[in-house]
Structure 1
Amino acid sequence: MSYEIVHTFGFTVYFVFLLFFLWISRFAKTSAGAGWWACSLAFALCGRLALFLMLPSSNVHPAAFIYAIFIVLEKPFLLTGLARFLNLDLRERWFWVAAAVAELWVLLTWMADATPLMRSAGYTLINACFLVYAAWLAYHHRHQIPGWALTVTASASAVLAVHWLVAPYIIELQPSWFRNGFVLGTSLVLIQYSSLLAAILLRFQKRLVDAEAKALGLAFLDPLTGLKNKRYMETLFDHALLLATRPHQVVAVFYIDLDNFKPINDNAGHAVGDEVLKTVASRLQTHTRSTDICARVGGDEFIVIGTQLENPDQAYGIAKKLLDQLTAEIDVSGANYALGASIGISLYPIHGTKLAELIDRADSAMYQVKRNGKSGYVIYQAGEKSANS
C-alpha cells in the first residue's frame, strides 16, 4: 500500500469525523465535548495533510516536524473534550502545559538536527501519557453512559498509548513498518472517535427516553397532589391490575368523597383547600401499600385501589383505616380543619371486571353512605341505583 493511499485513508477518516462532531456540536444542549473533539480532529487532519503533501519530496524532515506539531495539539483537545463531556472538574491547564513541553521538545530537537528516534522520543512519550489518562478517565466514568461506548474508548486509547510508545523503536529497527504503523494508528483512532461519537448519541438517546418518561409521568399525575389522575385510571388500570393481582385474589375499589371540604374552600380560601387536599393525598399514600393505587379523580374525590386481597372482608379493614386517617384533624398554618369521608367499595371480579363498572358501583355505594349520614363506608350491593342513573 503506497504512502498516498495510507495518508489519504487517514485524513479522510479524520475529515469525516470532524464533520460529524461539528454537526453534533450545533445541537441544542449538546455536551461541549463534541466541539473540542472537532478541534482535536482538525489538528490531526492538518498533520495528515502535511504528510500527504510533503512526503513525496526527498526530504522527510519538514513533513515529520509539521506532523509532530499538529499531532501533539490534538491530545489536549481530546482530553479537554472528554473532561467536558463527563462534566469532570479537572485542572485542564496541565493538559496545555504538557502539550507545550512536547512542542518545545519537537522544536529544540529539530533545531539541533537530532536523530529521528531522539526527535520522536519526547513527544511520543507525552502523547502516550495523554492517551493513558484518557483511557483511565473513560474507564473510570464508563457507567455515566449506557452500553459499552466508554469502555471501547478506554480500550482504544490504551492500545494507542502502547502504539505511540513502541512505534518509534519498531520503525528504527524496521523502517518498512512506518507505513503499517500509520495504518494501525489510524484504525485505532477510528475506533476511539467512533466510540466517542456513540457515547454522545447514547447520551442523546437516554435524554430523550428520560424526557419521554417524565412527560408520560406528568400526563398521568395530578399536578396538585402528585397522585395518579383520571387519565391514568382510564389508560393503565388494566395493565396495573394485571401486574398487581395474582389468581384467586380480590381487588377493592374505594371511591372516596370528602365531606365538609367545600366550607373550608369557601371560608379559608383555595390556598388552604389545596393544602388540605395535599395532606389527604399524603395520608392515602402513607397508609396504603406499594402495590395499591391512589388517584385523585375530581376536586375532592379520590379513588384507592387495594390489590392482592385474599378475601372480600379485608376491604372493610382497609376502609376503616382510610376513614380514620381522613377524619383526623388537618393542621394548616396553625389552624385545624376537620373533614369527613364517604367511602363506597366495589370488588373485582365480584362486581365487575372493567374499571368503568367498578368505579360506577363504588360511586353508587359512596352515595348510599352520603344518604345515610356521611362519614362511613359500605360495599356495593347488587340492586343499588347508580348515582348517574
Structure 2
Amino acid sequence: MPSEIVHTIGCTAYSVFAILFLWMSRVPRTNSGPGWWAGAMAFALAARLAYQLLLDQTDLAEAVFAYAALVAVEKTLLAIGLVEFLGLKLRHRWFWGALLLAEAWVVIGWLSDIQPIARSVGLAVFNAGFLGYVAWTAFRHRSEIPHHLLLLTAAASAMLVVHWMSAFLIFQAFPNWRVTGFLLGTVLVLVQYLSLLAAVLAEFQRRLVQAEANALDMAFQDPLTGLNNQRYMNTLFEKALVLANRPHQYSAVIFIDLDNFKPINDLAGHHAGDEVLRTVANRLRRCTRSTDICARIGGDEFVVICTQLEATEQVGDIATKLLGELIAPIAVEDKRFVLGASIGISLYPIHGNSLAELLEHADKAMYQIKRSGKNGYRIYSDQPSQTSAGPADR
C-alpha cells in the first residue's frame, strides 16, 4: 500500500477522533479526560502531516525529527487524559518532566552526531514507557468501565509498546518495511482511541441511567423523609395488590396523623420539626415489612399500606406496634419531644377497591380518633356503633 494512502487514512481517522473527543469534552459534567485526548489526537494528526510534508520537501531525517517531537506530546496527553478520566490523584508535573526530557533528547539527537539508531532507541523508550503506563493503568482499572473497554485499551497499548521497541530495529534492517510499520501503528492507535471513545460513551450511558433513576426517585419520593409519596401510591397501589395479595388475603390502609406536632414547629423551629419527621419516617420503616408501603402524603400525615394479611384481626397488632413507636420520645439535639398519633384504618376489599376510597374511609376513622381524644387507632365502619377502637384509645 502506498505511503500516501496510509497517511491519508491516519490523518482522516485522527481528525474524526479529535473532533469527537472535543465534542465530548464540552458535554456538561464531563471530566477533562476527553479534552486531553482531543489534544492528543490533534498532535498525532500534526505529526502525520508534518512527516508527510517534510518527507516530500526535504529529507527523511527532518521528517523523522518533526514526527518524533510531535508524537512525544501525543503520548503525554494520552496518559494525562487517562489519569483525568479515571479520577486518579497523580500530578501532571511528572508527565511534563518526562516530555521535556524526551524533547531534549530529540533536539540533541538532531543537532549532534548521534547515530540514528541511538536517537530512535531514546524515542522508542520514551513512547514505550508512556504506553506501558497506559496499558498498566487501563488494566488495573478495567472493572470500572463496562464491556471490557479498558481491557481493550490495555491490550492495544501493550501491543504498541512492542511495536515501538521493535519498529526501529526492523526499519534499520528492512527500510521498505516503514510503510507497513506505519500502517500497523495506525491500526493499533485507532483501536486504542476507539476503546477510549467507547469508554466515554459508556460513562455517558451510566450517567443517563443514573439521572433517570434519580428523576424517578424524585417523582415518587418525599424529599424530606425519603419515604414514598402520594404519587407513588396512586401509581403503584393496584400493582402492589396484585403482586402482594393472594385470594382470601387482606390489605390495610393505615392513615396516620401526628398529634402535638405543630407546637414543635412553632416553638423549636422548622429545623427541629424536620428532624422529628425524619425520625418518624425511620421508625415507620423499621416496624413495617418489605412488602408494605410507607408514604408521607402531607406535612405530618403518613400512610402505611400493609399487604398479605391473613386475617383482619392482624391490623390491630400492626396499629398497636406503630402507635408504640410513634409515642416514644424523640430527641433532637438537646431537646426531647413526645408526640402522639391518631390512626385511621380501612381494609381492602372490605371497605373499598380503590386507593381513593380506602384513603377516604381511613381518613374518616382517623378523625373519629381526633374527636374522641387523639392518640389511638380506629378501624373504619359506616356504622359508628360498630367501629373498632384500639386499646390506646381508652
Q: What range describes the TM-score normalised by the shorter chain of this pair?
A: 0.7 to 0.9
Question: Residues of 1 paired with 2:154 and 2:240: CA distance?
Answer: 42
| Greater Cα offset, 153-162 or 283-292 | 283-292
How far does the alpha carbon of each residue in 1:190-216 deviate from its partner, in whole angstroms, 9 at most, with x for none? 121122222222222322332332232
Counterparts of 2:270 and 2:133 in 1: how far apart (Å)? 59
Deviations 1:270-314 (Å, cap 9, x if unpaired)?
554444333322321222233322111122221012234344333
What's the CA shift for 1:57?
5.3
What is residue 279 of structure 2 aligned with on the other side?
Answer: 279
| CA distance, structure 2, for counterparts of residue 263 and residue 93 of structure 1 | 60
**Counterpart in the other structure of 1:27:** 27
- Of residues 45-54 and 306-315 in structure 1, the stretch that sits farther from structure 2 once superposed is 306-315
Q: CA deviation at 1:330?
A: 3.3
C-alpha change, 1:62 and 1:329, in structure 2 (3 Å) is closer
Aligned to 1:220: 220
Q: Is the CA contact 1:259–1:340 (under 8 Å) kept in the aligned structure 2?
A: yes
Give the superposition deviation at 1:321: 0.3
What secondary structure does 1:30 align onto? coil
Q: Distance in 1 between matches of 2:267 and 2:93?
A: 64
2:142 paired residue number: 142
- Percentage of pairs with the same residue: 58
Q: Residues 19 and 276 (structure 1 numbering): CA distance in 2 closer, same or farther, change over 3 Å?
A: closer
Cα distance in 2 between the residues matched to 1:72 and 1:264: 67
Instruction: Give the secondary-structure state (helix, strand or coil) at the position aligned to 1:119.
Output: helix
* Structure 1 gaps, min length 5: none
Counting only pairs closer than 5 Å after superposition, residues 318-333 of structure 1 correspond to structure 2 as 318-332=318-332
TM-score (normalizing by structure 2): 0.87
Shift of 1:20: 1.7
CA-CA distance at 1:5 after TM superposition: 0.8
Structure 2 residue runs of 5 or longer lacking an equivalent are 386-394
Q: Secondary structure at the match of 2:228?
A: coil
C-alpha displacement at 1:71, in angstroms? Answer: 0.9
Mapped to 2, the partners of 1:97 and 1:378 lie a distance apart of: 77
For residues 45-73 of structure 1, give each alpha carbon's deviation from its aligned partner in whole angstroms, at most 9, with x where no partner exists.
11101222132357311111211111112
Aligned residues: 385
1:211 alignment partner AA = A
Distance in 2 (CA, whole Å) between partners of 1:267 and 1:39 is 60
Deviation, 1:349, is 4.2
After TM superposition, list the pairs within 5 Å mapping 1:154-169 onto structure 2.
Answer: 154-169=154-169
User: Matches of 1:337 and 1:57 in 2, distance apart?
Assistant: 88
TM-superposed deviation, 1:40 = 1.4
What TM-score, normalized to structure 1?
Answer: 0.88
Q: Is 1:170 aligned to residue 184 of structure 2?
A: no
Q: How does 1:351-362 map to 2 (within 5 A)?
A: 351-362=351-362
What is the rounded CA distance, in whole Å, between the counterparts of 1:164 and 1:352 in structure 2? 77
Counterpart code for 2:253: V
Counterparts in 2 of 1:334 and 1:33: CA distance versus 1, 3 Å: closer
CA RMSD of aligned residues (A): 2.7
**Cα contact 1:105–1:122 (8 A) shared by 2:** yes
Return the alpha-carbon distance in structure 2 between the equivalents of residues 322 and 71 of structure 1: 70
Write out per-residue CA displacement over residues 68-87 of structure 1, whole angstroms, 9 at most, x where no aligned residue.
11111211111111111111
